[in-house]
C-alpha cells in the first residue's frame, strides 16, 4: 500500500491536549489540574517528505484517549504528565489496532509570576507505546495476499524536550497571551524538532474561557539515521490553528473542547504528515489540597 501505511502520531497529534509547559505560569503548591479526554482524527491526505500530496489511498482514522495532569510542588515547580492510555489506529481497509501511547513527563520552573510569568521546563517522552503494531487488511490484494500494515502507537525512541514560555495577563485577569518555544532532542540519530506556539484567551462569562492557538513544528538539527520512513516522523513539519474553550460546570469540574485546523505553507509546509481537521473533547478537574 505504498506510502499510506502509518500516521505519525507523535507529531501531528502533539497538542490534542494542553501542555502546561507551554505557558509561563506555575501551579501553587498543592494545586491540581487534570483532564481526561478523547482526540479523534481522520484523513486521506498524506504529504511526503518533499511536500507532495498523496490523497488516493485509504482513509486513516485515529482516536487517542489521554489523561493529562499538572500538580504544584511548591517553590515555583510544577510536575506535568500526559498519559495516552489508549491509542487506536485503522485504515478504511484494515482492522483497528490498539495500545498505550508514549508517556510524557515534564518538570517546570516558573519565575516572575506576579508581573510577566516565565517558565522553563525539561521533559522526557518515554517509548511506552508499541513501535510495531500490525493491522490486517480486510481483503486480500490482487495477488491473493492479506497484507499486514504497521500502525504503531509510539515511535520507539526516547525524546528529551526543553521549553521556555512566557505569558501576560490583561483585562484585569480575564484575558491572557502566551508564547513558547520547545526543542525536541530525538534519539536513535533522528533529526531534532523545533516547536513554536502562540495562544490568546479570554473569559467572556464567569466559568467560561475561550482560546485560539497557533502551533508550528519545524525541522531541527539534521540527524544521521538511514531510517527516513515517514512512520518514524523524520523531517515532519506542519502548522496548525486551534480554537476551543473550557467551561466549569461545578466548583471543581468542567468540560473542554477544541477544534484543530491544519494550514499549509504558513510558517512551514506540510512534510511527512497526514493533514485534516480534528477535534477533542474532555472532562476537567481543578482543585487543591
Pairing type for strands 278-288 and 273-274 reads: unpaired
Q: What is the pLDDT of residue 18?
A: 42
Q: What is the pLDDT of residue 123?
A: 97
- Its domain, for residue 281, covers 9-288
The 8-class DSSP code of residue 266 comes to B
Residue 122 lies in a domain: yes
Three-class DSSP category at 21 = helix
Residue 103 lies in a domain: yes
- Asked if 67 and 85 touch (Cβ cutoff 8 Å), the reply is yes
Q: What is the pLDDT of residue 1?
A: 40
Separation in Å, CA 44 to CA 64, 76, 242: 18, 44, 20
Indicate the burial class of 195 (C-beta count within 10 angstroms; 0-12, 13-18, 19 or more).
Answer: buried
Pairing type for strands 118-125 and 134-136 reads: unpaired
Q: What is the pLDDT of residue 8?
A: 33
Number of separate domains in the chain: 1
For the record, the C-alpha cell of 54 comes out as: 498523496
Residue 233 lies in a domain: yes
In tens digits, the chain (289 residues) has pLDDT values of 433 333 333 333 333 444 445 899 999 999 999 999 999 999 999 999 889 999 887 899 999 999 999 999 999 999 999 999 999 999 999 999 999 999 999 999 999 998 899 999 999 999 999 999 999 999 999 899 999 999 999 988 999 999 999 999 999 999 999 999 999 999 988 899 999 999 999 999 999 999 999 999 999 998 877 666 656 678 899 999 999 999 999 999 999 999 999 999 999 999 999 999 999 999 999 997 6
Q: What is the pLDDT of residue 4?
A: 36
Residue 2 lies in a domain: no
CATH assignment of the domain containing 51: 2.40.160.40
Residue 26 lies in a domain: yes
Amino acid at each position: 500500500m505504498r506510502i499510506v501505511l502509518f500516521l505519525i502520531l507523535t507529531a501531528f497529534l502533539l497538542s490534542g491536549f494542553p501542555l502546561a509547559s507551554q505557558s509561563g505560569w506555575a501551579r501553587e503548591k498543592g494545586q491540581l489540574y487534570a483532564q481526561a479526554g478523547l482526540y479523534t482524527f481522520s484523513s486521506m491526505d498524506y504529504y511526503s517528505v518533499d511536500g507532495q500530496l498523496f490523497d488516493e489511498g485509504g482513509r486513516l482514522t485515529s482516536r487517542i484517549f489521554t489523561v493529562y495532569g499538572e500538580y504544584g510542588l511548591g517553590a515555583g515547580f510544577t510536575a506535568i504528565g500526559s498519559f495516552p492510555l489508549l491509542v487506536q489506529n485503522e485504515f478504511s481497509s484494515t482492522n483497528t489496532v490498539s495500545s498505550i501511547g508514549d508517556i510524557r513527563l515534564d518538570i517546570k520552573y516558573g519565575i516572575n509570576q506576579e508581573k510577566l510569568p516565565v517558565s522553563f521546563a525539561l521533559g522526557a517522552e518515554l517509548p511506552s507505546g508499541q513501535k510495531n503494531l500490525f493491522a490486517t487488511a480486510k481483503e486480500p490484494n490482487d495477488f491473493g495476499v492479506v497484507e499486514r500494515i504497521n500502525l504503531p502507537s509510539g515511535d520507539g525512541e526516547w525524546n528529551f524536550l526543553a521549553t521556555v514560555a512566557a505569558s501576560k495577563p490583561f483585562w484585569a485577569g480575564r484575558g491572557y497571551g502566551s508564547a513558547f518555544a520547545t526543542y525536541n532532542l530525538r534519539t536513535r540519530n533522528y533529526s531534532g524538532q523545533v516547536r513554536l506556539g502562540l495562544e490568546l484567551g479570554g473569559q467572556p462569562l464567569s466559568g467560561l474561557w475561550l482560546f485560539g492557538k497557533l502551533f508550528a513544528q519545524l525541522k531541527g538539527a539534521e540527524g544521521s539515521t538511514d531510517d527516513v520512513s515517514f512512520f518514524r516522523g523524520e523531517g515532519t513539519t506542519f502548522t496548525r490553528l486551534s480554537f476551543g474553550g473550557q467551561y466549569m460546570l461545578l466548583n471543581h469540574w468542567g468540560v473542554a473542547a477544541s477544534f484543530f485546523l491544519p494550514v499549509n505553507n504558513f510558517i512551514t509546509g506540510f512534510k511527512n504528515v497526514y493533514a485534516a481537521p480534528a477535534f477533542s473533547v474532555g472532562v476537567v478537574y481543578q482543585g487543591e489540597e
